[in-house]
């Protein structure tokens, strides 16, 4: 998504102070635009389907904004009316997002336009089609930036956000859509790695995504049967790690270590492993390789590493996410039709609630604390999870 570009523009322009939003908008809604912002994840299509099907029951038309705002600001805008295929049952199981995510040329276009040029293209495209409400899936930052941009571009078009993230780090949420599916995918790979680790009497280190939050790594490690789980929130004590892996190895003649992409390694001066891509982007990655090398050199064991990477973002969603994405999508349409705006639909473990975006804005992302029940469970079973 073009969040960093908008963020930079918003932060460094006095116009940012002009953003303020009403908590409820009374206009009736007859045409909704949907976009899937940020990285993709399983169950976005299930969510789109639920939005379309719910909107149909209310005689509301639904338009897709391909690749997020970039699809609107290009000339001509690529907005299109969703056809019946978007309401088909096949959407429940299709991975990725049929509306797509941003690509390299989108960033170039974004960088080439001023904030006002972007705002005027967004406003023109939406008013041309008479779109009078927007629903977006996204992380907390991208949802907030979209809401702010819409306010800036259109005045007060109603906006509803739906939390999605395989990292599960969105404030105020228990789970965001996509997380449970990513856990299921990663857990399957971790279990598969144990088969080969056993055969070859190896240590295998598996790297999970999740940015600076350890939820994906912890849940995947538990579900996949990991012996050791290293998380970004808790420092790794090398002596304890080596002792633990050695003991596991003595017992089972293999070990499966699951690490988050953002753990801080003393072999890397306490920093996370990062690299820069050819187009200048900084990416997390390399922690599994570094841990495998450290274990191999320190313990004299054969240690290999696997990076699960984008496999965790793809594939069919599991049942939990199919239901949660459907539920939040349907409630988002109900909320926008009932006059709500600037809210994020949230499943709180019992009900679906509409949380004002103001409660999520400028709040630090969620991260693991040492009293997180799943973490305590892992430690209680003898899994080393770092110094909590």
Question: Could you say which of 91, 134, 206, 209 contacts ligand F6P (CB under 6 A)?
Answer: 209
Q: Tell me how far apart the alpha carbons of residues 91 and 163 are, in angstroms, rounded to a whole number.
A: 19
Question: Could you say which of 53, 202, 211, 305 contacts ligand F6P (CB under 6 A)?
Answer: 211
SS3 content of the chain, % helix, strand, coil (to 5): 45, 20, 35
CB of 211 to ligand F6P, least distance (A): 5
Question: Measured from the CB atom, is 135 or 209 closer to ligand F6P?
Answer: 209
- The reply on whether position 138 binds ligand F6P by CB under 6 A is no
Map residue 106 onto helix, strand or coil: helix
Map residue 328 onto helix, strand or coil: helix
Counts for the chain of helices (H) and strands (E), in that order: 12, 15
Q: Tell me which stretch binds ligand F6P (CB under 6 A): 80-88, 207-215, 344-352, 378-386.
A: 207-215
Active site residue 167: yes
Question: Measured from the CB atom, is 33 or 210 closer to ligand F6P?
Answer: 210
- The reply on whether position 283 binds ligand F6P by CB under 6 A is yes
| C-beta separation of 92 from 322 below 8 A | yes
Interface with ligand F6P in residues 105-124 (CB under 6 A) = none
Measured from the Cβ of residue 275, the count of other Cβ atoms closer than 10 Å reads: 10
Question: Could you say which of 33, 42, 71, 210 contacts ligand F6P (CB under 6 A)?
Answer: 210
- The reply on whether position 167 binds ligand F6P by CB under 6 A is yes
Catalytic residue from among 132, 167, 227, 321: 167
Question: Could you say which of 6, 51, 146, 166 contacts ligand F6P (CB under 6 A)?
Answer: 166
Closest CA relative to residue 36, chosen from 77, 7, 65: 65
- The reply on whether position 284 binds ligand F6P by CB under 6 A is yes
Q: Tell me which stretch binds ligand F6P (CB under 6 A): 206-214, 292-300, 349-357, 362-370.
A: 206-214
Closest CA relative to residue 161, chosen from 307, 315, 310, 21: 21
Q: Tell me how far apart the alpha carbons of residues 3 and 219 are, in angstroms, rounded to a whole number.
A: 28
Q: What is the DSSP track for 182-220? A: HHHHHHHHHHHHHHHHHHHT-EEEEEE--TT--HHHHHH
Question: Measured from the CB atom, is 243 or 283 closer to ligand F6P?
Answer: 283
- The reply on whether position 313 binds ligand F6P by CB under 6 A is yes
Closest CA relative to residue 168, chosen from 134, 218, 207: 218
Q: What is the DSSP letter of 85?
A: G
What character string, x for contact with ligand F6P (CB under 6 A) and - otherwise, covers 79-98?
--------------------
Q: Which helix (H) or strand (E) holds 80?
A: strand 80-81
Question: Measured from the CB atom, is 145 or 153 closer to ligand F6P?
Answer: 145
Q: Give the residue closest to ligand F6P by C-beta.
A: 209
State the residues that interact with ligand F6P by CB under 6 A: 39, 166-167, 209-211, 261, 283-284, 313
The catalytic residues are: 167
């Amino acid at each position: 998504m073009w969040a960093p570009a908008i963020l930079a523009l918003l932060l460094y322009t006095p116009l940012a102070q002009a953003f303020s939003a009403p908590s409820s908008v009374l206009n009736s809604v007859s045409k909704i635009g949907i976009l899937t912002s940020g990285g993709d994840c399983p169950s976005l299509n299930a969510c789109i389907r639920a939005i379309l099907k719910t909107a149909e029951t209310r005689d509301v038309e639904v338009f897709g904004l391909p690749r997020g705002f970039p699809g609107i600001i290009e000339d001509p805008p690529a907005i299109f009316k969703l056809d019946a295929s978007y309401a088909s049952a096949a959407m429940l199981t299709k991975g990725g997002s049929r509306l797509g995510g941003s690509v390299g040329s989108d960033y170039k276009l974004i960088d080439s336009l001023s904030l006002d040029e972007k705002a005027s293209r967004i406003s023109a495209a939406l008013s041309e089609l008479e779109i009078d409400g927007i629903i977006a899936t996204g992380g907390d930052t991208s949802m907030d930036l979209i809401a702010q941009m819409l306010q800036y571009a259109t005045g007060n078009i109603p906006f509803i956000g739906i939390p999605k993230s395989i990292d599960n780090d969105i404030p105020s949420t228990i789970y965001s859509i996509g997380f449970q599916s990513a856990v299921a995918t990663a857990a399957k790979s971790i279990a598969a790695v144990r088969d080969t680790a056993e055969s070859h009497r190896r240590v295998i280190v598996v790297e999970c995504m999740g940015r600076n939050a350890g939820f994906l790594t912890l849940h995947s490690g538990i579900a996949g049967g990991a012996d050791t789980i290293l998380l970004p929130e808790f420092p790794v004590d090398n002596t304890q790690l080596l002792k633990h892996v050695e003991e596991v190895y003595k017992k089972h003649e293999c070990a499966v270590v699951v690490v988050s992409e953002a753990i801080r390694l003393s072999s890397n001066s306490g920093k996370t492993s990062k690299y820069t891509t050819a187009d200048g982007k900084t990416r997390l990655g390399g922690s599994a390789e570094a841990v495998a090398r450290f274990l191999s050199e320190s313990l004299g064991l054969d240690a290999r590493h696997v990076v699960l990477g984008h496999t965790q973002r793809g594939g069919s969603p599991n049942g939990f996410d199919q239901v949660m994405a459907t539920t939040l999508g349907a409630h988002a349409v109900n909320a926008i039709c009932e006059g709500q705006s600037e809210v994020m639909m949230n499943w709180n473990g019992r009900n679906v609630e509409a949380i004002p975006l103001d409660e999520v804005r400028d709040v630090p992302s969620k991260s693991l604390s040492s009293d997180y029940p799943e973490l305590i469970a892992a430690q209680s079973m003898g899994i080393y999870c770092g110094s909590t």
